[in-house]
Chain A
């Protein structure tokens, strides 16, 4: 096969997978729900990192593809009464196609112009969801999603999410460590030089955008069923900002960093909301800390501590 994952990472993955699989044994509804949501956000953040950490562009509109996955899955399941086995893949394909359409335009640009255009397209998606009331439910949201009976209960849904997310992350890991993934890093590292080794950098950045949008669509499709609804907020720029912060908090230069960032930010928000109404303030402080002292996120911090300990002993 040729795939090689560092032993420590492989062991950590297995431990996390086993721990997750055992969560329902606790029979804590709270724990099961939190974990389900974290898994979805972890996939969402990892998908965004294909654009940020690998292709070296910043997307301010990644929520659009999450929302499209959610809406399409919800509408096909409910309005058209399609089975999940059809609605889910179609939702994912729709997200990927939308990402391809946007990528066609965005990849003409780089840096801040790229980011602004992704934001503009995401606001367009939000506006469509908001205005197209007959299909999306507008600002009331698309509620009462028909979730297949076998996923009606919390525990089967948890395992459904676990399997889909784990397989998706596995595929993402392969893509990111493939010949494609390594070339993408070269594009991030040095756009000009990448062109001079014969790489069509625009096409590479576009492909990364499509991969990212596709996997965000998977996360969104799951989330729509979990919530039994999709709301316009899921496409709003604040949602894009949140997943961006998750990615940066975890660390964009590490594959699993964004998943750790997603869990950390999600839990922080949960706890902060129990003690204060000022979550946005807390979020602001977190952002400041990331930018000023943790440019490589929590994973970067862990590496530095490890290096310090190794050097000190």
Chain B
């Protein structure tokens, strides 16, 4: 069953078509990777799905609801959360508060003027901190964490929303090989235990082929192929536009 679908999704930036007529579906429970060279439109695709950008044409459907043109905060509430390629946290707040605030928002308590912040969602915040391995950094200022840890924090912020579908935009970008391995193991584990449907973009082909159930390939804003990892590996067009040029499968 498809949880997320796009039909004829198009984004035209004043003549530059970043996403061109993309029809795509994400099956419940799968781990689906979107790959493609730089500038293929992966991030724009995510931005269109999550309400960060408004499509020029086409529709986005989430769990049979049309969400095209909805603001991000409403889409998140439906259970579709995301992380960002460039780190997107609340830098001057503590690690703890970053996660706690996300939980406060999930529980619709952000308009509670007289509920002490310090008393909200304590247990769940602690659990999420532990889950992503940041329990010892709880009181640190989020913006002062190492890059890898900020990525983990960002993941925790997204998980706090209790999504059914999580979009990860290059979850391992900028990480060392060791960090990448750990991060992916973590994401894999969380997806399993929480029954998450995962849609992610990734440059590291070992990561992609390591965890994806299905792979879609974007090229110049068009979806040129979609299928099982083995099919993609052997698809001549995919090899030509992507895997062939600067193959970083070895990286």
Contact = CB atoms under 8 A, between A and B. Distances in A.
Interface size class of B (residues with CB under 8 A): 35 or more
B20 interface: no
A277 interface: no
A295 to B, nearest CB: 13
Contact of A174 (B71, B77, B114, B157): B114
Contacts of A199: 73, 105, 110
Given A178-B112, A198-B77, A190 B105 contact: no
Interface stretch (B26-34, B117-125, B214-222, B238-246): B117-125
Interface string B92-104: 1100011011101
A196 B101 contact: no
B92 A189 contact: yes
A194 B89 CA distance: 9
A179 interface: yes
Interface in A122-160: none
Given A183-B101, A183-B105, A195 B73 contact: yes
Contact of A197 (B76, B92, B97, B113): B76
Contacts of A185: 90, 92-93, 97, 101
B235 interface: no
Contacts of A196: 50, 52, 72-73, 76, 81-82, 88, 158
B71 A195 contact: yes
Contact of B115 (A178, A194, A198, A204): A178
Interface size class of A (residues with CB under 8 A): 20 to 34
Contact of A180 (B50, B73, B93, B111): B111
Contacts of A211: 113
B90 A180 contact: no
Contact of A179 (B82, B89, B110): B110
A193 B112 contact: no
B110 A193 contact: no
B116 interface: yes
A203 to B, nearest CB: 8
Interface string A174-213: 1101111111011001101111111111011001000100
B91 A190 contact: yes
Given A180-B110, A195-B71, A196-B50, A186 B93 contact: yes
A198 B117 contact: no
Given A192-B88, A193-B88, A195-B71, A2 B101 contact: no
A26 B203 CA distance: 73
18 contacts: A175-B113, A177-B117, A178-B114, A181-B117, A183-B101, A183-B104, A183-B110, A185-B92, A190-B89, A195-B76, A196-B52, A196-B82, A197-B73, A197-B157, A197-B160, A200-B71, A204-B110, A207-B111
